[in-house]
Structure formats: structure tokens, C-alpha cells
């Protein structure tokens, strides 16, 4: 065996080992493209199925959405119609409510006026009853006085009758004595002079002169309650004010109204406004005489 | 090239067993590589020579 053959054998062996090592390394590290292909194909197929499913679901959702839109549109239309109807009803109810509120207000004012009038009437009834009681008491007292006066009058009439009989008897005696005296003095040509009585003759009874004078109480408006038509004045029982008295309210030369006193305190009195020509204010003059 | 008589009578022997072993080693390496490549091709692609 020649040396060249040996060298070639060695080189062939080394190169074979080298190349085989390279091939083994490459093959060992080579990717499994078939597996990758299969995996990618499986992924693609699954994705395609998913895409189909999703497309189908999207189409179903779109159809459901359209159905839902149609249904909701119909509901919206019906609800709009119902809203318009309800708005109309609401307007009607508002109008009715406004009318009822106005009626309630008018009735409230009427009831308030009626209550005030009722209170005034009650107060007037109370005052009238008090006055009636006073009048009845006074009537009883006057009847008693009348009875006493009647009894006294009867007694005096009896005395007058007695005195009249006495007077008649005295006149008869006077006439008889006058005739006797005339008979006694006639022979002497004399006539008896007219007697002069010691007791002076009485005149006819006349009514006494009017000695009544005005009270002339004067004061000021202390407070005014126009809502209840009430007012208080600055004078009271200490000044001579009594319940039932009537005061005239004036401002300058203008007559404003009257105040009928219904409650009297020591230093002030409260009354009801009557014949109101102008609204009184605090500080206006009040007096019992104009 | 040699006569039949001579061939029949001469025993063939390797001139050098060392280089024979080296050649055998190279052959074995190539063969193992070939088997490995064939196995890989078959296992990965299902065939050895066809393109799938």
C-alpha cells in the first residue's frame, strides 16, 4: 500500500467523520416542519371553525339585534304615544288642580271671612246677651221701683184724697165762715178783706233742665290688626273706658272708622273696627265725640 | 488480470489492518449517519425519498 493511498484513506476517513458530524448535527437540530405544518394546519382549521362559529354568532346576534331594534322601536313608538297621552292627561290634571286650588283658596277665604263674621256675631251675641241681662236686671230693678213707686203713688193718692176731702171740708167751712162774717159785718157796712195765706202757692211741676254732658275721652291707636279688623287704644278702665263704648278714629279732619270696645284693660282697650272708611294706623286719634 | 490459477492459490489479505480499520470506521460512520438521516426523514415526513 502506497503512502498516497494511506494518506487518502486517512483524509477520506477524517472528511467522512467531519461531514457525517455536520450532517448529524444538522439533522439533530433540524426542525420538524411536518409537525409544525400539522400544528399550523390544525390551528388554522380550528381558527376557521371559530371564525365560522363567530360569524354565525355575529349573524345571529345581528338578527337578534335587528329583531330587538324593531321591537324596541315599536315599544318606543308606543311609549312616545303613551307619553304624549300622559302629558295631555298631566296638563288636564294641572288645569283641574289649578282650578281646584283656586276653588280651595276661594273657599278658604270664604271660610275665613265666615269665621271672622261668626266670631263677630258671637261677640255681638255675647255683648247683646250681656246687655240683655243688664237690661233685664235694670228692668227688674225698674219694675221693683215701679211697684214701689206705684205703692207710694197709691199711698199718696190716698193722702191726696184725704187732703182733698180735708180741703173740701175746709173750703166748706171757709164758705160758711165767710157767709157768717159777711152776715156779721153787713150791718156795719163793712166787708171782710181777702185773706192772705202764709204758705205761698206752688207752681206747676216742670221737667228739669238737661244736665247731661259728653264724656269726651281722647286717646291714640296703640296697635292695629287689620287681618282680624281689631285695634287697641291707649286708654283703658282707669280713664273711664267701658265695654260697649264706641270711639271715633280720626286723622286730622278725616274720619277713618269706629271702634266698638269689646275688652277693657287697666291702661288699654281692644275693640272691633266698624264703618271703615280708611285703614287706621298707630298714632291716629280716637275719641268718644267728633 | 491475474490468471485463475494464481487467484485460486493466493489468499487475499489486507496489507495493513490499521488502515482497514480506519476505512471500516469511516464506513460505519457514514452508514450510521445515513441510517440516522433515513430514520429522521421517515419519522418526520413519513417517507425517505419523496417530498410530502
pLDDT digits (tens, 9 = 90+) for B3-47: 444 445 567 676 678 888 999 999 999 999 999 999 998 988 888
Q: B49 to chain A nearest CA, in Å? A: 15
Q: For residues A185 and A163, what is the distance between their CA atoms, to the nearest angstrom?
A: 31
Tell me: the pLDDT tens digits for A158-182? 998 999 999 899 999 988 988 888 8
Best residue in B15, B26, B45 for a mutation probing chain A (most A CBs within 10 Å): B26
**A262: CB partners within 8 A, 6+ apart:** A123, A127, A243, A270, A271, A272
pTM metric for this prediction = 0.34
| Mean pLDDT value across chain A | 88
DSSP letter at B12 equals P
Q: For residues A63 and A139, what is the distance between their CA atoms, to the nearest angstrom?
A: 106
Q: Residue B5: what pLDDT?
A: 43
Q: For residues A272 and A284, what is the distance between their CA atoms, to the nearest angstrom?
A: 15
Contact B22 A23 (CB under 8 A): no
Between positions 8 and 67 of A, the ones with CB within 8 A of B are 9-10, 12-13, 16-17, 20, 23-24, 27, 30, 32-35
Q: Nearest CB to B22: which of A10, A20, A30? A: A10
Q: Residue B6: what pLDDT?
A: 47
Amino acid at each position: 500500500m502506497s503512502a498516497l493511498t494511506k494518506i487518502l484513506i486517512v483524509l477520506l476517513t477524517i472528511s467522512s467523520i467531519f461531514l457525517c458530524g455536520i450532517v448529524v448535527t444538522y439533522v439533530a437540530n433540524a426542525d420538524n416542519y411536518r409537525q409544525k405544518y400539522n400544528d399550523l394546519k390544525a390551528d388554522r382549521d380550528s381558527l376557521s371553525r371559530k371564525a365560522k362559529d363567530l360569524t354565525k354568532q355575529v349573524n345571529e346576534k345581528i338578527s337578534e339585534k335587528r329583531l330587538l331594534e324593531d321591537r324596541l322601536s315599536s315599544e318606543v313608538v308606543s311609549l312616545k304615544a303613551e307619553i304624549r297621552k300622559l302629558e295631555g292627561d298631566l296638563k288636564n290634571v294641572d288645569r283641574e288642580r289649578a282650578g281646584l286650588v283656586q276653588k280651595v283658596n276661594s273657599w278658604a277665604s270664604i271660610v275665613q271671612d265666615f269665621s271672622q263674621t261668626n266670631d263677630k256675631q258671637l261677640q255681638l251675641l255675647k255683648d247683646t246677651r250681656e246687655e240683655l241681662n243688664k237690661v233685664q236686671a235694670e228692668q227688674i230693678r225698674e219694675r221693683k221701683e215701679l211697684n214701689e213707686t206705684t205703692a207710694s203713688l197709691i199711698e199718696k193718692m190716698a193722702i191726696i184724697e184725704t187732703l182733698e176731702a180735708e180741703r173740701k171740708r175746709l173750703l166748706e167751712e171757709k164758705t160758711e165762715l165767710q157767709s157768717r162774717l159777711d152776715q156779721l159785718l153787713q150791718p156795719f157796712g163793712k166787708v171782710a178783706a181777702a185773706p192772705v195765706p202764709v204758705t205761698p202757692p206752688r207752681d206747676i211741676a216742670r221737667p228739669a233742665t238737661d244736665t247731661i254732658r259728653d264724656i269726651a275721652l281722647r286717646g291714640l291707636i296703640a296697635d292695629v290688626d287689620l287681618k282680624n279688623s281689631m285695634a287697641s287704644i291707649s286708654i283703658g278702665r282707669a280713664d273711664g273706658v267701658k265695654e260697649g263704648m264706641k270711639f271715633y278714629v280720626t286723622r286730622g279732619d278725616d274720619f277713618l272708622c269706629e271702634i266698638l270696645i269689646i275688652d277693657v284693660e287697666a291702661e288699654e282697650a281692644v275693640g272691633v273696627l266698624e264703618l271703615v272708611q280708611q285703614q287706621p294706623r298707630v298714632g291716629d286719634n280716637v275719641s268718644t265725640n267728633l | 488480470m491475474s490468471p485463475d490459477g494464481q487467484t485460486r492459490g493466493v489468499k487475499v489479505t489486507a496489507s495493513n489492518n490499521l488502515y482497514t480499520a480506519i476505512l471500516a470506521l469511516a464506513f460505519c460512520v457514514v452508514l450510521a449517519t445515513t441510517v440516522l438521516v433515513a430514520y429522521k426523514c421517515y419519522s418526520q415526513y413519513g417517507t425517505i425519498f419523496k417530498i410530502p
